């Protein structure tokens, strides 16, 4: 009987440690994304091609850890355009932990706020975000999916925007650290 209790205790502890490791994946992914803090520049392409973003458009991104490390702010704009978000595209994305999930909320130029939840690749080098829901109008479409693949001084972002009628537009950003 004593050995049965001991065995059950060991099994229970193993179960708890498995749960603890599983719950740490969002934290690890968030910590990895926070290493992208800084300034980035690189080219963008879209598929299918879009008039407002011709192939090779130069983009500037900044990522900043804020709120005592509880959020990551991602801001994007076309290089050479004035920093005037009232007149030019200047979307903002916030990354944050919500319980045992890593989420992003994208404050879109289309006037809505889609939320997505993270999945991390087994090697930890890619974080993929899947659509959960959207607040605001989707009359002009909405951001639907995002993938971040990175190392210290280079990262790639792939964003999928769903146009009205559920027609996807894929934007690919190939970025190098500038600061």
Domain coordinates of the chain in residue numbers? 2-177
**What six digits make up the tokens of 133?**
């829901």
Q: What is the pLDDT of residues 57-66, one digit of tens each?
A: 999 999 999 9
Query: Which CA distances in Å does 58 have to 47, 80, 108, 169?
Result: 16, 8, 19, 18
Q: What is the pTM of this model?
A: 0.83
Give residue-wise pLDDT tens across range 77-135. Answer: 998 887 776 667 789 999 999 999 999 999 999 999 999 999 988 888 899 999 999 99
* CATH class of residue range 2-177: mainly beta
Mean residue pLDDT across the chain:
86
Better-predicted residue by pLDDT, 54 or 72: 72
- Residue range 162-178: average pLDDT? 96
List % helix, strand, coil for the chain (3-state, nearest 5): 20, 50, 30
E strands, 27-108, in order: 38-47, 57-66, 71-78, 92-98, 101-107
Confidence (pLDDT) at 131: 98
Q: Is 114:142 a contact under the CB 8 Å cutoff?
A: yes
């Amino acid at each position: 009987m004593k050995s049965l209790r001991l065995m059950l205790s060991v099994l229970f502890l193993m179960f708890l440690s498995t749960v603890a490791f599983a719950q740490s994946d969002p934290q690890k992914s968030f910590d990895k994304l926070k290493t992208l803090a800084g300034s980035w520049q690189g080219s963008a392409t879209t598929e299918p091609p879009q008039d407002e973003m011709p192939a090779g458009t130069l983009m500037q991104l900044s990522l900043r850890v804020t709120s005592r490390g509880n959020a990551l702010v991602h801001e994007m704009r076309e290089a050479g355009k004035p920093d005037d978000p009232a007149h030019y595209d200047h979307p903002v994305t916030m990354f944050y932990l919500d319980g045992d999930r890593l989420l992003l909320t994208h404050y879109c130029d289309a006037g809505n706020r889609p939320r997505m939840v993270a999945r991390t690749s087994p090697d930890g080098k890619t974080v993929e975000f899947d659509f959960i829901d959207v607040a605001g109008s989707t009359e002009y479409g909405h951001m639907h999916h995002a993938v971040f693949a990175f190392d210290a001084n280079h990262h790639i972002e792939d964003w999928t925007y769903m146009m009205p009628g559920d027609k996807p537009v894929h934007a690919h950003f190939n970025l190098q650290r500038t600061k």
